[in-house]
Amino acid sequence: MEEKVLIFGHKNPDTDTICSSLVKEILDKKNGESDTKAVRLGNLNKETQYVLKYLGMEAPELIKKVEEGQKVILVDHNEFGQSVEGIEKAKILSVTDHHRIANFETAEPLYYNAKPYGCTSTILFEEFKQKGLEIEKKEAVLMASAIISDTLLLKSPTTTKQDRKALEELAKIAKIEVNQYGMEMLKAGTNLEDFTAKELVNLDAKSLEKDEIKFVIAQVNTVSIQEVLKRQEELETAMNEEIVKKGLHIFVLAITDILDSNTEIMVLGEKSEIVEKAFSVNLENNCAFLEGVVSRKKQLLPNIDKTIGNEELA
């Protein structure tokens, strides 16, 4: 078993998950706890690669599973389905997160700091403040990048005044011009060319379950929805493979235009009609356009979740 306490975010790591893991390790060290270590559960996406390259930092070590009794700290997730293999038997010391709580349990009391903000790093930013710890340039860039990523440059409806305040203050310490740095970072993440279809549908995919209906909502950011739709056939093949492999009832691929803040959804699975009901749309050629929708957490998931709940009552 790893002696250090392992800090990690969710599978299919995004920029908030990686940056918040690294920041949590820095925060713990500054707070006198030096036995924690950030790790990751999957490959870095190109947006996150851009951030680490900007800072000249190495990616955290990749882990595949944890042993029974391993001490862990979760950031940016809590649902076991999104966590590391073996999480059920690990000892979870703390969670810092901005998602709903579900499919999560512990045998013992723990630290749990959740706030309904746009980004986990905004919660960590407030922890630095509360504990009176200095924020230096490296962690400022990490937290600013996470906020820019999760809020799509403060344009997502998940954005809160706390995220705006944190980003403003962090940008000064990080010495970055938010819009310029942010757009370069986001665009780096939309370069999807050298991903296979299988990689694309798994890049940022969340596995969810409600009332025994298993579904995945995957999301890719782009500057051209049409470019992504050119690959519809191979994307659908990859989605169907996931449906069979994981016994899913629904697979939603959200293709989000980060410039215009709209999303095209591609939906497969035997319960696809739940998604049609959730957004009052008809799928045509398995697709539908959702104007003004950009957030999985605040827009896609709650609507689908609520519709499943109502189906059960019917």
What single-letter DSSP state applies at residue 210? E
Name the nearest CA neighbour of 92 among 79, 249, 100: 79
Q: Specify the 3-state DSSP secondary structure of 311.
A: helix
Size of the site for its own copies (CB under 8 A): 26
Considering only residues 274 to 303 of the shown chain, the ones binding its own copies according to CB under 8 A are 297, 302
Count of CB atoms situated within 10 Å of the CB of 63: 17
Is the Cβ–Cβ distance between 66 and 93 less than 8 Å? Answer: no
The region, left, alpha or beta by phi > 0 then psi within -120 to 50, assigned to residue 263 is beta
Distance CA 236, CA 276 (A): 18
Binding-residue pattern over the window 66 to 105 for its own copies, x denoting contact by CB under 8 A: --------------------------------xxxxxxxx
Considering only residues 98 to 127 of the shown chain, the ones binding its own copies according to CB under 8 A are 98-117
Does residue 305 interact with its own copies by CB under 8 A?
yes
Q: Least Å distance between CB 98 and its own copies?
A: 6
Q: Least Å distance between CB 217 and its own copies?
A: 14
Q: How many helices (H) and strands (E) does the chain have?
A: 11, 11
Q: Choose between 126 and 260: whose C-beta lies nearer to its own copies.
A: 126
What single-letter DSSP state applies at residue 89? G
Q: Least Å distance between CB 95 and its own copies?
A: 8
Q: Choose between 106 and 224: whose C-beta lies nearer to its own copies.
A: 106
Does residue 206 interact with its own copies by CB under 8 A?
no
Q: Which residues bind its own copies (CB under 8 A)?
A: 98-117, 130, 297, 302, 305-306, 309
